[in-house]
């Protein structure tokens, strides 16, 4: 498909109803509203849809994908589109207040002042209250685009949800994801089809699996865990492996990002300089301390996201075992179609009740991690609960 024909909407995969709704809002000012809430499971493309909508709102032609407005919005450099992507565990009130300040400005170049908040479910209560005040009394040319997994009050406060127009996205079909990997990324069709199925329709993860052998090996290691859990020692070893893999990913990201950030800040503060710059550098100690705090928070989030991804994969395999136990002759879609043999073996050994108990154990582990239980403790408790019967 050519960019002029589909424009920015070509990025919104497998969501024709959503694209039609957003196109209508762009074309008809009467259909616009000042606050939108994009919801959908991980990988559904809620933030991609929000960015495409932001570009279309700024574009004179409704999102042709070729103009300066479209290109700068999608690149994250448009002066009138502010995007918040939390690097740490949460979006705090200080960040939210700065966002509200920017949102209150009149557009300088575009048609709207657009604020996109990815992972709005990570806003603290104080941050959500700050954003709520702006949504209740927005400036005439300001639009808020919030992204969250669901409408559950734990994700989005009811007070914010009630003031937003909700756009619900679904997980795109695997064949649509595979088609995108082939057309846009030049990935081999067979590998693209496998990655799309293995990722459960999550476009970003499918691309990562298709491109990165390390990611494929990490997924394999996680899905090998259930059939390894034949003793207490094996359970503890598996827990060490899962937590260790998450820490390794966090350490790799820190090594790639932290050093360059720290050196850039030091250079801007004149650290190591002589003469008049020394006083300024000494005053920048607080800036460096704040940066280190943000970097630690980001590393914690990366590690938790990695561990959570592993837990979701485990839950998916036990769900496959449950499906195969209930309807072994049916060709029902599986979360991990390439691990069907493992799911069949689990179904034989633990049955439907055992699969359900283990899914509950995975969900309990995710909850424990959200409540700041130490990963080692939470995952060890999980692997013991997943132990296979003798």
CATH code of the domain containing 263: 1.20.272
Contact 356, 322 (CB under 8 A): yes
Give me the pLDDT at residue 168, please.
Answer: 95
How many residues appear in the chain? 390
Is 1 among the domain residues? Answer: no
- Give exposure, 70-84, as e/b (b: 16+ Cβ within 10 Å): bebbbeeebebbbbb
What order do you get walking across the sheet with 81-84 strand by strand?
81-84, 113-117, 142-148, 35-39, 165-168
- Give exposure, 105-144, as e/b (b: 16+ Cβ within 10 Å): eebeebebbbbbbbbbbbbeeebbebbbebbeebeeebbb
Is 223 among the domain residues? Answer: no
Give me the pLDDT at residue 3, please.
Answer: 44
β-pair partners for 146: 37, 117
Q: Is the dihedral of CA 351, 355, 358, 364 positive or negative?
A: negative
Domain final position from 112, 146, 168:
168
Whether residue 99 is found in the same domain as residue 187: no
Number of domains into which the chain is organized: 3
- Residue 203 phi/psi, 5-degree rounding, is -60, -50
Both tokens of 176, joined, read 């649509």
- The series of mean pLDDT values per 10 residues for the chain, 390 residues long, is 66 92 89 91 90 94 92 93 82 88 85 91 91 88 93 92 94 90 92 91 89 93 96 97 91 73 64 55 63 73 87 95 87 88 96 96 94 94 95
Please enumerate in sequence order all residues whose Cβ is within 8 A of that of 308, keeping only pairs 6 or more positions apart, or say none: 366, 369
Is 56 among the domain residues? Answer: yes
CATH number for the domain that contains residue 97: 3.40.50.300
Is 180 among the domain residues? Answer: yes
Give me the pLDDT at residue 32, please.
Answer: 85
Is 226 among the domain residues? Answer: no
Whether residue 155 is found in the same domain as residue 180: no
| CA separation for the pair 22, 7 (Å, rounded) | 13
Whether residue 140 is found in the same domain as residue 206: no
Whether residue 103 is found in the same domain as residue 206: no
Whether residue 302 is found in the same domain as residue 355: yes
Please enumerate in sequence order all residues whose Cβ is within 8 A of that of 53, keeping only pairs 6 or more positions apart, or say none: 22, 25, 26, 36, 145
Whether residue 297 is found in the same domain as residue 189: no
Our separate counts of H helices and E strands in the chain read: 17, 5
| CA separation for the pair 113, 111 (Å, rounded) | 7
Is 216 among the domain residues? Answer: no
Instruction: Please report which helix (H) or strand (E) contains residue 292, including its range.
Output: helix 285-326
Whether residue 157 is found in the same domain as residue 181: no
Whether residue 107 is found in the same domain as residue 61: yes
Give me the pLDDT at residue 268, please.
Answer: 66
Whether residue 152 is found in the same domain as residue 17: yes
Both tokens of 135, joined, read 């949504």
β-pair partners for 113: 142
Contact 26, 56 (CB under 8 A): yes
Containing structural domain, residue 34: 7-168
Whether residue 369 is found in the same domain as residue 293: yes
Is 364 among the domain residues? Answer: yes
Is 246 among the domain residues? Answer: yes
| CA separation for the pair 301, 304 (Å, rounded) | 5
Whether residue 105 is found in the same domain as residue 185: no
Whether residue 178 is found in the same domain as residue 250: no
């Amino acid at each position: 498909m050519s960019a002029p024909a589909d424009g920015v909407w070509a990025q919104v995969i497998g969501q024709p109803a959503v694209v039609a709704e957003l196109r209508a809002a762009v074309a008809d000012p009467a259909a616009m509203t000042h606050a939108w809430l994009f919801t959908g499971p991980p990988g559904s493309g809620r933030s991609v849809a929000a960015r495409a909508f932001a570009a279309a709102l700024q574009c004179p032609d409704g999102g042709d994908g070729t103009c300066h407005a479209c290109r700068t919005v999608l690149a994250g450099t448009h002066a009138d589109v502010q995007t918040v992507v939390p690097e740490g565990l949460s979006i705090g009130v200080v960040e939210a207040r700065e966002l509200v300040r920017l949102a209150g400005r009149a557009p300088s170049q575009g048609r709207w002042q657009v604020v996109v908040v990815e992972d709005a479910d990570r806003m603290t209560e104080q941050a959500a209250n700050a954003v709520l005040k702006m949504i209740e009394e927005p400036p005439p040319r300001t639009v808020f685009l919030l992204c969250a997994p669901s409408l559950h009050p734990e994700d989005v406060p009811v007070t914010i949800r009630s003031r937003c127009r909700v756009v619900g996205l679904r997980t795109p079909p695997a064949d649509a994801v595979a088609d995108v990997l082939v057309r846009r990324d030049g990935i081999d069709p067979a590998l693209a089809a496998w990655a799309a199925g293995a990722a459960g329709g999550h476009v970003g993860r499918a691309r990562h699996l298709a491109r990165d052998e390390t990611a494929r090996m990490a997924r394999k290691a996680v899905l090998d865990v259930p059939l390894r859990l034949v003793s207490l020692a094996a359970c503890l070893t598996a827990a060490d492996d899962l937590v260790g893999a998450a820490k390794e990913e966090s350490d790799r990201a820190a090594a790639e990002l932290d050093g360059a950030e720290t050196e850039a800040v030091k250079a801007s503060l004149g650290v190591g300089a002589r003469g008049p710059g020394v006083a300024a550098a000494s005053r920048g100690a607080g800036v460096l301390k704040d940066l280190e705090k943000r970097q630690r928070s980001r590393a914690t989030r990366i590690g938790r996201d990695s561990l959570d991804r592993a837990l979701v994969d485990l839950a998916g395999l036990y769900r496959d075992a449950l499906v195969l136990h209930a309807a072994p002759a049916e060709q029902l879609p599986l979360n991990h179609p390439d691990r069907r043999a493992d799911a069949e073996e689990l179904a034989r050994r633990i049955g439907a009740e055992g699969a359900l108990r283990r899914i509950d154990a995975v969900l309990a582990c995710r909850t424990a991690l959200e409540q700041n239980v130490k990963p080692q403790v939470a995952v060890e408790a999980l692997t013991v609960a997943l132990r296979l019967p003798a």
